[in-house]
Chains A and B, each alone.
Chain A
Amino acid sequence: MNAGLGDAADIIGILVSVIIVAAMLIWVERRLLAVWQDRLGPNRVGPLGLMQVVADMIKMFFKEDWIPPFSDKLVFILAPTIVFITMLTGFAVIPFAPGVGIIDFNFGLLYFLALSSLSVYSIVLAGYASNNKYSLLGGLRAAAQTVSYEVFMGISIMGVVMLSGTFNLREIVEAQRDGWFIIPQFFGFIIFLIAVIAESRRAPLDLPEAEQELVGGFHTEYSGMKFGMFFVGEYLAITLSSAIIVTLFFGGWLGPWLPPLVWFCLKTAVGIMFFILLRGALPRPRYDQLMTFGWKILLPAGLLNLLVTGAVVLSLHG
């Protein structure tokens, strides 16, 4: 068994900092969007509006935690916890810096794929349990969208796996000492980025919750802390996605002058900001456009990328 476990300080430190980062993103997102849209954003509570997060949390705790009488109660309560738990456990395999991390698992990359595919149950079950037409539509869209985009997500990162020869995220970072994988795997990166946005159900691919057409989509019936779970779960998903993108394509903790952990955090922060910028910049596609784009463009592109990478790797090493 080579799944080495990090020490207790690491585990608690990572858990706490990840949750704090996810919570702070509530403020970061609103503030950044405001800056890009030439507004001020939340700036009243505390310095620069930083305490807005606390204000939001207090508000959420005092909301009535309502379980609709027509819902499937057990599933209704269970659903929001799934996205939270799967996304948090996803951080277990992220290599933050040499020696900093929770587990060093040989199939770390596949572990991430498995957890991100499990997180969709949260949305689907929420949509089903709410017993509401808008929620059901949101849940159906989530299921179709994630099952489709999962396929290209897996295929697009196989190029990285071929180049580094391993599924272990730590070894993938080490393999990028001579150059980040974004250069040889540029198409893989683009496909993976789109797939990750679809998997974390972020705007512009947030069709399951599309406010303008589905009220609130899968979380129409949710209130209080259960809604908060979905909310923070989404930010956890963004953080996890940027961490994985940084690990796979941008050399993880590698970089000159600064300590490795700082490099990793800086790169991840840039990734998160890019996700927020995308939300502010792009319109949402129609549902059928999303599915057609996935199966007719991304799937062949992913397969082609896999084929070319395989041929190049074989000709160089074979």
Chain B
Amino acid sequence: MALTLFYITSAVAVFATGMMITRLNAVHALLYLILSLLAVGVIFFLLGAHFAAVLEVIIYAGAIMVLFVFVIMMLNQGQKTMEQEDAWLQPGIWIGPSLLALILFVELLLIVVLGGNAETGHVVDSKQVGIALYGPYLLAVELASLLLLAGLVGAYHLGKPMIKTKKSGGNS
């Protein structure tokens, strides 16, 4: 039962990701990407990582993708970008990435056939995640927060000249 559900969800995820890459309309592509993220959330849930599943939906599908849609809507360019996209997606471009993906796929097949440790069925609760994050992985958490802080400062810096000119424009 769980295995069938897993394969169905994975098929949805792979299909949605494929559709996401090949769509010409950016908003349609984003919708497929959201679907793919939701499918990954369900896969996490099936594997027993309930906490990761919910966070996947809240953070990726619910927050980051909303920002993507927001930006694409702001740049709302319609037909012109679709033609541009069409020109970029020539069949020849697919050869390189497809070969690389094929190698990964063969590796995955080998692991599955040779019997790796794909079996993880136990439920992970939020407490265990917290203990792991602030125990053995504390350094990684700190590094990630530093990276986010750098991003924040960078965004502020980029936005600052705009704020200044706006103010001086208002006074003069």
Contact = CB atoms under 8 A, between A and B. Distances in A.
Interface of A: 1-2, 72, 74-75, 105-107, 110-111, 113-114, 117-118, 120-121, 124-125, 127-128, 136, 139-140, 143-144, 146-147, 150, 154, 167
A150 B63 contact: yes
A143 B61 contact: no
Given A107-B51, A121-B34, A136 B63 contact: no
Nearest to A109: B54
Given A114-B57, A128-B76, A72 B67 contact: no
Contacts of B25: 72
Contacts of B69: 121, 124-125, 128, 143
A144 B126 contact: no
Nearest to A120: B66
Interface in B37-80: 50-51, 54-55, 57-58, 61-63, 66-67, 69-70, 73-74, 76
B123 A1 contact: yes
A150 B125 contact: no
Given A121-B34, A136-B73, A144-B70, 7 more contacts: A107-B51, A118-B57, A118-B62, A147-B63, A147-B66, A150-B63, A167-B126
B50 A143 contact: no
Q: Which 6 A-B pairs give the minimum distances between C-beta atoms?
A: A117-B62, A114-B57, A110-B54, A143-B70, A114-B58, A107-B54
Interface string B96-140: 000000000000000000000000000101100000000000000
B70 A107 contact: no
B76 A124 contact: no
B31 interface: yes
B69 to A, nearest CB: 5
Contacts of A113: 54, 58, 62
B165 to A, nearest CB: 17
Given A118-B57, A118-B61, A124-B73, A107 B50 contact: yes
Interface string B138-170: 000000000000000000000000000000000
Given A72-B27, A106-B125, A147-B66, A114 B54 contact: yes
Contact of B31 (A75, A114, A147): A75
